[in-house]
Structures are given as C-alpha cells and as structure tokens.
Amino acid sequence: MVDMTAISNLPAARQHRVIEVYVHVVSTQSKRARYNNAMIQNQMTVMNDAFQGTGFSFELVGFDITVNEAWAKASGGSGEETNMKQALHRGTYQDLNLYFLSDLGGGLLGICYFPTSNPSQQMRILDGCINLADSMPGGAATYYDLGLTAVHEVGHWFGLYHVFEGADCNDAKGDRVGDTPRQLSPTAGCPSSKDSCPRSSGLDSIHNYMDYSYDSCLFEFTPGQGRRMRTLFDSTRAGV
C-alpha cells in the first residue's frame, strides 16, 4: 500500500496528464428520458474547467446508457454494484470509469474508490466513481445539479481526502495537504464564511471541491491538492 500520510512530500513530474474517461449512465425505465448526450458533454466540460491548473484534463472515449432496474439503485459495496461494474467497466487502472445512477442507493450523491498500489483484479473492476445521475449539469438534484459531485468524487479517485478529514482541529495530518486549513466539520449550504477551528490559522475551505458545500459555492482546488493528485496518480495509476 502507498503511505498516504507521506505522499505529499514525494516529488511529482510536471507533465500534463490526459485521463481517458468511460461514462456509464444506468437508469430505471421510468427515468431514462431524463438523461442525454448533452448532459454528458456538459459534465466533461465542468470537469475540465474544475481541474484546470492541476495538471489533468479529461477525454471522453466511451459512453453508454443502460436500463437496469437493480443496477440503477445500487449502493456501494452491494452485489448490484459488483454485477454492474463487471458488465460495464472499461479500460485500465489509469482510466476513469464514471457511473451515473438514476437512483443511487443510501441517499448519497456519490462514492468513489481511492487509488492503491498493486490493485487486485477485483479492485480494478470496482475502481471508478458512482454518482447520482441527477447531479449532472441540468439534473434534478436540488443545490447539487451543476456537475460538481463528479468533480468531488474524482478528487477521491486521485487520492484527495475531504478538507475536514479526521474532524479534529488538533490533527496535524488532516487531509494530508499542507495548504488547506484545519477544518472540524463539513460545510452545509453556502455560508459567507466559516471557521470551525478558530485556534488554527485560516478559515474553512468552503469553496473547495473537497468540502460538502452547495455546487454554486465550489470553485477551487489548492496547489497542494494538485501536487498530491499528480504524485498519487504517477505512483499508483500511471501505466497500471
């Protein structure tokens, strides 16, 4: 396993990395008409805009829509998730599979797998991010319909933690990124300001993609997060 606590101290190459993306929309029959090619293209635009400056861009190389009542309601760790991914997953460990489910289980907006060194065949199949389909641009997820759920989940795919990781103002490790202030709790809504660790320097990262703010509130990754993503990608996913 990669030492996740020390990864931000490793050197990272500066070349630009183009991530090939396979998008899988999985819907119930009753919601199939909600989702179309334009939403997928808009989602890709949102992702490329969000990751601009991090050293990554995304290229859509495959897209499919599947109607499956069980898969559309899958939750993380379920048999439905495994069956769906065994059927739909494409590419290698350095390629990104995005699944957009019309009725993602557990009341969640998204879930994703962190990178790991020497992934097993099962881990390769399960790899990728599952998102509520209505979180795509133009979807019906109130406050979360601008496509930034996928941005947040892909941050996890690259190895980023939440900016409130550990939920402890005294935890020096936190999200393992040096330029995100310590943060005790996730953000709700879009406050004008928030300081959950007043004895530590800096305000909460309410505009960071790795917080839980409304989509309209989010617009940044830090340079440190970019370095962590590049380093982890190069050490765990590139060429695998």
Catalytic annotation, residues:
153
What is the distance between the alpha carbons of residues 180 and 102, in angstroms, rounded to a whole number?
A: 33
The CA distances from residue 6 to 2, 161, 180, 232, in Å, are 9, 14, 16, 11
User: 75 — phi, psi (to 5°)?
Assistant: -120, 160
> Which residues have a Cβ under 8 Å from the Cβ of 143 and sit 6 or more positions away?
189, 214, 215, 216
Which 3-state string (H, E, C) describes 130-152? EEEHHHCCCCCCCCCCCCHHHHH
**What SS3 class is residue 86?**
helix
What is the distance between the alpha carbons of residues 220 and 175, in angstroms, rounded to a whole number?
A: 15
User: 132 — phi, psi (to 5°)?
Assistant: -65, 125
